[in-house]
Amino acid sequence: MVSSREAAYKSQGHNTLIDYSKARSELVVEMAAWEAVILAKYYKTKLWILHASTKGEFDAVAYARKNGITASGEIAGYQLFFTTDDYKKYGAKIKVSPALRSPRVNRELWDMVRNGTIDGLCSEHTPHLLSEKEGDIWTAASGTPGIQETVAAFITGWTKIFGKESVEECLVRLVQMSCQNVANFFGYVKKSGIVVGNYADLVMLDIEHDWTVKKEDLFTKLQWSAYEGMRLNGRPIATWLRGNLVYQDGKIIGTHSGQWLRKGK
């Protein structure tokens, strides 16, 4: 569907980011979600829909659950923070897949975040060079860096819509969506909460002060971000991995210590 719709738009001379979102419309992703549900039903598998971007995809997840399928879904951080209204300002920097949605759809997503319909939040980090983002909208690379900005962007977006007085509710949902729900779904029980015997993977946030995303503070080798220059709230100030302090006050201070994870561990 994506290929045929993009070909049609190209043949008609449509060449804007709005056209890119139209080619990869709500219809396209909802059809994919429902097909996945049908496959999960007949093959009796669990189903996790990644990078969802519409209410319709989570309607498919809800249907699956009602019919005995273990199903959940996630949303990428940029889908909550940017909309098609932002194309004019940021251009291909925010050309992503699935494509960005309208402000109406964006608000539907935020409401589902708040009521618990959406189980997962992924940071998504697609490290394209700026040079790969230039040129024709159909050939410019799709994806945007964002692993470092996602937590603060989530908190900033939430408080902008629902008010700063709901920030504690925001933090609870952030933990559930970025950690607890995902760990439980995939069977990594020791990653699912602050419990004796679990991994001490912790993040300390400063939610009292806003901060500006600056190029020199980015860890990505790309040295660019669509969030650059924005005032965000909720900057991580310390991170512990399995009880070891690995990040503090803008600096990575730990050593590489990744481990293979197995279900139940």
What pLDDT does 260 receive? 86
Counted residue by residue, the chain has a size of 265
Does residue 209 sit within a domain? no
Does residue 194 sit within a domain? no
Does residue 46 sit within a domain? yes
Look at the chain and report how many structural domains it folds into. Answer: 1
Does residue 151 sit within a domain? no
Does residue 183 sit within a domain? no
Closest C-alpha to 176, from 184, 188, 164 = 184
State which residues of the chain have pLDDT below 50.
Answer: none
CATH number, residue 138: 3.20.20.140
What pLDDT does 159 receive? 97
What pLDDT does 40 receive? 98
Beta partners for residue 147, in sequence order: none
60/54 Cα distance (integer angstroms) = 10
Tell me: cis bond preceding 98? Omega within 30 of 0 counts.
yes
Does residue 41 sit within a domain? yes
Q: What is the pLDDT of residues 62-88, one digit of tens each?
A: 999 999 999 999 999 999 999 999 999
**Prediction pTM value:** 0.94
| C-alpha neighbours within 13 Å on the C-beta side of residue 63 | 15
Range of the domain at 55: 2-144
Does residue 263 sit within a domain? no
